[in-house]
């Protein structure tokens, strides 16, 4: 028996069409969508093969319909954490990315938390329901991510980061 049905890597229009098809046929609707999502946005036109990055339209749909987004790759394989051994993928190149990464690092230093923790807290405080899907290699990385659960961001910090 299937308890919940979810979508992954859909463009917003395809998600809406799928939900409508489920409704008119009496099928179980999708309960959420899993999509590539991070504080750092890919450059316009970036192609990820079969993966689809969440965009403004999808985030707005999720927000207005209280439709959870499970954001995968939020740390971009460690690049958001400013690890010197991890470089940002070329799909995340440009002035917008550099400015957002600089702001993320500045705010995390001011708050005394890691960029990882700030990114996860930003996702948790998002106007849409965003559930970060994390992958870790060590217990220390898991603990760092779990510590983000206790990090509260006020409206001013969220506005600045957004």
Cα(90)–Cα(45) distance, rounded to whole angstroms? 12
- CATH for 127: 3.20.20.100
Tell me, yes or no, if the pTM score tops 0.85.
yes
Q: Is the pLDDT of residue 95 over 80?
A: no
Q: Which domain holds residue 150?
A: 5-161
What's the total number of domains in the chain?
A: 1
Distance of CA 31 to the CA centre of its chain: 17
Cα(103)–Cα(25) distance, rounded to whole angstroms? 47
Identify the pLDDT of residue 2: 77
**DSSP structure class, residue 134:** -
Averaged pLDDT, 26-38: 94
Q: Is residue 97 within 8 Å of 124, Cβ to Cβ?
A: no
67 three-state secondary structure: coil
Identify the pLDDT of residue 90: 85
Map tokens 């500045």 to a residue.
106
pLDDT in tens, 74-94: 998 888 876 667 778 888 877
pLDDT in tens, 100-156: 989 999 999 999 999 999 999 999 999 999 999 998 889 999 999 999 999 999 999
């Amino acid at each position: 028996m299937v308890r919940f049905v979810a979508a992954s890597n859909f463009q917003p229009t395809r998600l809406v069409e799928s939900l409508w098809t489920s409704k008119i046929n009496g099928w179980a609707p999708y309960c959420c969508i899993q999509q590539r999502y991070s504080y750092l946005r890919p450059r316009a036109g970036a192609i990820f093969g079969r993966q689809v990055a969440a965009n403004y339209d999808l985030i707005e749909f999720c927000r207005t319909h209280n439709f959870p987004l499970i954001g995968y790759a939020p740390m971009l394989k460690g690049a958001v954490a400013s690890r010197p051994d991890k470089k940002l993928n070329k799909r995340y190149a440009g002035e917008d990315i550099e400015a957002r990464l600089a702001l993320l690092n500045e705010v995390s230093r001011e708050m005394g938390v890691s960029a990882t923790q700030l990114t996860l807290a930003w996702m948790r405080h998002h106007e849409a329901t965003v559930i970060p899907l994390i992958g870790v290699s060590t217990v220390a990385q898991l603990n760092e991510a779990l510590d983000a659960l206790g990090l509260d961001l006020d409206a001013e910090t969220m506005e600045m980061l957004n």
